Amino acid sequence: MDEAPKRDADPERSRLDAMRNGKEDWRGWGPYVSERQWGTVREDYSDGGAAWEYFTHDQARSRAYRWGEDGIAGFCDDRQLLCLSLALWNGQDPILKERLFGLTNEQGNHGEDVKELYYYLDAVPSHAYQKMLYKLCQAAFPYQRLIEENARRHGIQAREFELIDTGLFDQARYFRCRGGICQGDADRHPDAHHRA
């Protein structure tokens, strides 16, 4: 009796072995898109080296980056020639939610800090599969309130004012936005699977 061919019990180990042996390049696509490129030293063209004040979150949607891209659930080729990420709108905000919002070093009472709710749920080392969850408020995002309330809280002992503290997520008043990427093989572009 002929034995049936064995299926690989661990496909991720096979992908990693193929990369190690130079047979396949699974890392040609991956999570190489920054969550937040604005305000970083890579994009600082200010005279005095004040990256945070030079390039704000508000300017980020209107300016081109020189050294990278940013996005929510971002995925791209290893040279960032093609970048994919989520763009979300809750029907209330004046802008699309394309990147994470945060406070600059001067605005935050504990320094720079992202003020969003998002979670990385799963991933494999080859980048063949990964998924994340972003929680989008159904009400208008409180950009100014987060800035002003954190500015009122001074000193290292003061508690930070977080997005969850605004009450916008009470009674589950938010959209659960899932982003995910699957790669069928190393030679093809990945399939993006996003769901809200």
* pLDDT (tens digit per residue) in 72-127: 988 888 888 888 888 999 999 999 999 899 887 778 767 778 899 999 999 999 98
Q: What is the pLDDT at residue 4?
A: 52
pLDDT beyond 70 at 7: no
pTM comes to 0.83
Total number of residues shown for the chain: 196
Confidence of residue 183 (pLDDT cuts 50, 70, 90): confident
* Of 26 and 92, more confident: 92
pLDDT beyond 80 at 54: no
Q: Are 70 and 83 in contact (CB under 8 A)?
A: no
Rounded distance between C-alpha atoms, residue 55 and residue 73, angstroms: 22
Q: What does the pLDDT look like over 131-153, one tens digit per residue?
A: 999 999 999 999 999 999 998 98
Q: Are 76 and 32 in contact (CB under 8 A)?
A: yes
CA angle 69-72-76, nearest 5°?
50
Summarize the confidence of residues 53-77 as an average pLDDT. Answer: 80
Please choose, from the candidates 169, 190, 181, 170, the residue with its C-alpha nearest in 3D space to the C-alpha of residue 72. Answer: 181
Rounded distance between C-alpha atoms, residue 45 and residue 109, angstroms: 25
pLDDT beyond 90 at 9: no
